[in-house]
Amino acid sequence: MIAAQAKLVYHLNKYYNEKCQSRKAAISKNIREVCKVVSDVLKEVEVQEPRFISSLNEMDNRFEGLEVISPTEFEVVLYLNQMGVFNFVDDGSLPGCAVLKLSDGRKRSMSLWVEFITASGYLSARKIRSRFQTLVAQAVDKCSYRDVVKMIADTSEVKLRIRDRYVVQITPAFKCTGIWPRSAAHWPLPHIPWPGPNRVAEVKAEGFNLLSKECYSLNGKQSSAESDAWVLQFAEAENRLLLGGCRKKCLSLLKTLRDRHLELPGQPLNNYHMKTLVSYECEKHPRESDWDENCLGDRLNGILLQLISCLQCRRCPHYFLPSLDLFQGKPHSGLENAAKQTWRMAREILTNPKSLEKL
């Protein structure tokens, strides 16, 4: 048993050093290329409208606010300034979303974003995004990369196609630190010892972001109140949870396997699903020793089996907001296809670790 486990870990490490590292290097190169263009567009936006200041800064070889969706698809979160005169309200009526309401009607004129406040006192995510979209469209025509960058039409999101190879979504957002949303107040679960009080305090201090984007839980039936709402995102908090042990290595393996074998019609699976399942696996295996290097194979198998189960049930709950289903709106045939493909892959890895050389 131990020999089989060690053999699997050996092949997974080999796969990580060869396939995962080359994937990371390729993505880093793509990111540099993409960020050069996006920075230029945002500089042009800032000239027209100083309230939209580019926050795409590089720190420790990472670009702040950049999320990799796939090797050729990225999201850049543009942090906006000053949220001061608004109250954050998440009463659960819009799963995965919250609203920003003026704390006092008399303060309307004090807001930096006065013309985006609705008659009922909400700061409208849709109105800000609409204005931003217009500015980006103008900036694309003026920037020095105008020959290689195009706006993607027929979407209310701000999406750019760069060199006909990459897609980048630029999402205006507010960073919320020092508060924790009521809709995630159940976390951490009282009977689970992971991640421990110190890490919980760090994660909650990291806070969350409010993004101006279409909320997929609303599935197209948006009333005006809903389109004014902001989408909750916990990227930094989630990253902090995955520190220590082989957690990040496990996620890297899953992302590489997804890119190579689960890039399927209808896009049923993305990297965020993988990240979510690693967090759930951490709850199931709360001890640090469960994430030692020699447990890598067990953890990976556990996550692949959980993924198959989620695909078969057609439900993958968001880690911090479990009432939100990350498979909402995905075609059933795509989920079934992904379940079969994942099962084939998991069986292959489990029964013959050497097969990783071909995966």
| In the chain, domain spans | 1-358
pLDDT at 4: 84
With 0.85 as the threshold, say if the pTM is over it: yes
Residue 294: C-alpha distances to residues 1, 182, 257, 304, 339 (Å): 12, 38, 20, 17, 27
Per-block mean pLDDT, blocks of 10 residues, the chain (359 long): 86 97 96 95 93 87 89 94 81 87 83 90 94 96 94 92 97 92 94 94 93 72 71 95 97 97 92 97 97 97 98 97 93 96 96 93
pLDDT at 220: 52
Pairing type for strands 230-233 and 97-102 reads antiparallel
pLDDT at 55: 86
Rounded Cα distance, 130 and 123, in Å: 13
Per the CB < 8 A criterion, the answer to whether 305 and 277 are in contact is: no
pLDDT at 331: 94
Tokens representing residue 91 in the block: 């009463």
Fold of 1-358: Beta Polymerase; domain 2 (3.30.460)
